[in-house]
Structure 1
Amino acid sequence: MDLLTKNTRLKKIFDELFIDDDPVVFTTRLRIARNLENYVFPHCITKKDAGYLVDEVLMALRGFQGTFFVVPMAEIDNLTREFFVERHIISPEFAEDDPSKVLILFPEKGIRILVNEEDHLRISICGKKKNLEKMWNILNIFDDNLSRKLNYAFDDGFGYLTSCPTNLGSALRASALLFMPALKMAREIKKIFDTTLKPGYLLRGFYGEGSQSMGNLYQVATGPALGKKEQDIYKDVISIIEVLKQHEFATMEKINIRYIKTGIKNFLDKVYNSNSGIDSQKAIKGISLLLFGKNLGIIKVEAKLLKMLVYRVLPASIQIEAGGALEPEERDLFRVQMLRQELRGAYV
């Protein structure tokens, strides 16, 4: 946690999530996987060679324009690692006390590199749906520059060689975190996903593969990249978003607004008047109701504030905000006090 409390600039980077102003889209992401020619894949690599690989990557980044931060996972505490997971900076599997796992951040470019994850390099950029083409151009130029310093594992027939065969080809995956409460209430998400969208698209939970939905938030992602052009891949995710968005809006018209209003009033009453705390799951459920109410036009509150609150109420994030580790009961009390302050102007 010292990493964040002492470096206010770095803390600001993590607080400034690329929240979309779209009512359904939280954020979109492009991610490429790269491996180095002279090393075995991460699941087979020795700790010694993994360390050499980190050194080689850092050497290659010397001379790159712009400031970047290097964050070895072994040099930060559990709370900070959990915070990174909550903010979708790293994957849950990456949050280990392992000196060979290193996070590299280029804040001006919005680029993040995970070294020694499932692949040697997972390079990603996050942003708004409308900026996907610009995001791809930034990521592509960065990757081209890095490829001049590192020997990527590449095959003329299969493209970039990756740990998982589904990433072969361009090794690009596009994804979006979507807010779909109406479809969730109507139990229509999986049905629409299975019957309307092309095979290969992926539906995941809040933290990606293997996780559950939280606050009516789902991650949707493009599938295998082999044989597809990069532009077609990131345009695919736009198509996914638009299809699901249309179904979400159509389903919203069938929702019992009185039920939503009652849920919102009960949550706000708890926030404003209760002397007890509120845990993260109940907080996220309540914030999700508020955001749904905003989309339905029955509550006046800034959508971006609500989207940020989804992250801020999570266990590690609330402790970072409080300035130190807290017991569960202390977290719950601090959380409700923070919500009371932030939602003081919210009303139905």
Structure 2
Amino acid sequence: MNLEHFLKSDGPSWLEVKGSDADIVMSTRIRLARNLVGYRFPLSFDEQEAKQIDQVVTQALLNRNNGDHFFSHFTIKEMPALQRQILVEKHLISPLLAKKEKSASVVISNDESISVMVNEEDHLRIQCLSPGFQLYETYELANQLDRYLEKHIPYAFEESFGYLTSCPTNVGTGLRASVMVHLPALTMSKQMKAIIQTLTRLGMVVRGIYGEGSENLGNIYQISNQITLGKSEEEILNDLQNVVEQIIQNERNARQLIMQQAPIALEDRIQRSLGTLKYARIMTSEEAASCLSNVRLGIDLNIIKDVPLSILNECMILIQQGFVQQYAGTTLQATERDLFRAKLLREKLNAKTKNSVEKGEEKYDV
């Protein structure tokens, strides 16, 4: 497939609404960090080594193409900055890979559930994404690909340490499991600070929607394991599963309490947000994310019944800077982006004009 297929806001399988906890858990991600024997780590290797690694990894992946997962390969330095940004916004590559100048690439499956980053912080990072709360299923998908690659590529591995990685925090299993959760009630009731402190003590880390250094736009958080050494993959997954299950219950309790204590105020907040999304003429990404969070909560609580949750998931990606400019077809200044973002949201959330924006029939004059 060509790159244009992966630059659309719709299509990713991990954006589907799936599972009994889909009202809180948006997606699950498994990432495995691996390096090849005989090459320096990306922090110190040269361009020739980078090219060799890219060729070895890419060839192995493309040889595995099958009906379920057909892979496509893209070189990072050949992409314009906007295309790189869009892939970051879709969680298909990391912000670090998007900045790479040496030979680096990404291999993406046709349904976007798998992406393998080549020459990021490590030689390769296998990433699998699934909708909802599917830790074990997503890990098995990543593990199958990892086992295949290990048969064809000699990994850097030591019995006493496990898989060797550029950063010591990834040594051992090289496994980072994360769950993206929507926690509006815990955020409203100002419980998140205490929860984050507790999770840190348990060896977990809480980050924003785009990982390390990003903010929690729209009350969306990523919860992941911090420790990769000294624990088995099963122990890491079990610990995260238990933690997230507890957070889900805490969020449900917080939602119920808000509904009991201030139902009218909550409904007013939700309906005002829906009105803003449907009729506002200018909107920052922060305001859009906040309104989308409120409307999502309204859908989960059955206050709003005529907006599909899948549209809200897509809009969370659609409001980001890269997508806004792609839909506009030109580079936009901050104010222009805010204007066009509001226009996109109006069209997505108003049924009469929904089809026009999906087909790209309407142009924007900047």
In the superposition, the TM-score normalised over structure 1's length comes to 0.89
CA distance 1:115–1:213, change in 2 (3 Å): same
* 2:347 match: 341
The C-alpha deviation readout for 1:184-236, integer Å capped at 9, x for no partner, is 11111231243378621111111111222111011100121223222232233
Question: Which range moved further: 248-257 or 23-32?
Answer: 248-257
The amino acid across from 1:317 in the alignment is F
Residue 243 of structure 1: how far off its partner (Å): 0.8
Hey, what does 2:271 align to over in structure 1? 265
Select 2:14's aligned residue among 11, 18, 26. Answer: 18
Does 2:109 align with 1:113? no
| 2:320 pairs with 1:317 | no
Q: 2:128 aligns with which of 125, 148, 167?
A: 125
Correspondence for 1:207: 210
Counterpart in 1 of 2:49? 49
Aligned with residue 158 of structure 2, among 151, 155, 159 = 155
Question: Which residue identity lines up with residue 44 of structure 2 in the other structure?
Answer: C
Shift of 1:310: 1.0
Q: Deviations for 1:323-343, whole angstroms, at most 9, x for unmatched residues?
A: 443344443333223222222
> Alignment length, in residue pairs?
340
Which position in structure 2 is the counterpart of 1:297?
302
CA distance in 2, matches of 1:25, 1:137: 19
CA gap of 1:82–1:13, structure 2 versus 1, over 3 A, is closer
* 1:236-293 Cα distance to aligned partner (Å, 9 max, x none): 322121111111111112323333333333333334444x322222111111111122
2:33 equivalent to 1:33: yes
- Give, in whole Å, the separation in 1 of the partners of 2:299 and 2:275: 17
- Identify if the C-alpha distance between structure 1 residues 326 and 210 changes in structure 2 by more than 3 Å, giving closer, same or farther: closer
Gaps of 5+ in 2: 353-366
Q: Report the identity percentage.
A: 34
What CA distance in whole angstroms lies between the structure 1 residues aligned with 2:9 and 2:308?
Answer: 21
**Retained in 2: the 8 A contact 1:221–1:237?**
yes
> Matched residues in 2 for 1:108 and 1:285: separation?
29
| Residue in structure 1 matched with residue 358 of structure 2 by the alignment | none
Letter in 2 for 1:316: G
CA offset at residue 96 of structure 1? Answer: 1.7
Distance (Å, rounded) in 1 between the aligned partners of 2:253 and 2:86: 36
1:35/1:161 contact within 8 Å kept: yes
Q: How has the CA–CA distance of structure 1 residues 191 and 239 changed in structure 2, closer, same or farther, with 3 Å as cutoff? A: same
Cα deviation for residue 35 of structure 1 reads: 0.5
- TM-score, normalisation: structure 2: 0.85
Change in CA separation of 1:126 and 1:243 when aligned onto 2, cut-off 3 Å: same
Does the Cα contact within 8 Å between 1:110 and 1:126 map onto a contact in 2?
A: yes
Letter of the aligned partner of 1:340 in structure 2?
R
CA change 1:13–1:142 in 2 (3 A) is farther
Cα distance, 1:240–1:128 mapped onto 2, change above 3 Å: farther
Confirm or deny: 8 A CA contact 1:206 1:219 kept in the other structure: yes
Which of 330, 334, 337 matches 1:331? Answer: 337
Provide the aligned C-alpha RMSD in A.
2.4
Q: Note if contact 1:260-1:289 (Cα within 8 Å) is conserved in structure 2.
A: no
Q: 1:158 to 1:185 in 2, by over 3 A?
A: same
Aligned to 1:288, which of 284, 293, 304? 293
Q: Residues 164-185 of structure 1, C-alpha deviation per residue, up to 9 Å, x if partnerless?
A: 2222222111101110011111
* Structure 1 CA distance for aligned equivalents of residues 29 and 143 of structure 2: 14
User: C-alpha distance in 1, partners of 2:74/2:199?
Assistant: 42
**Post-superposition offset of 1:130:** 4.9
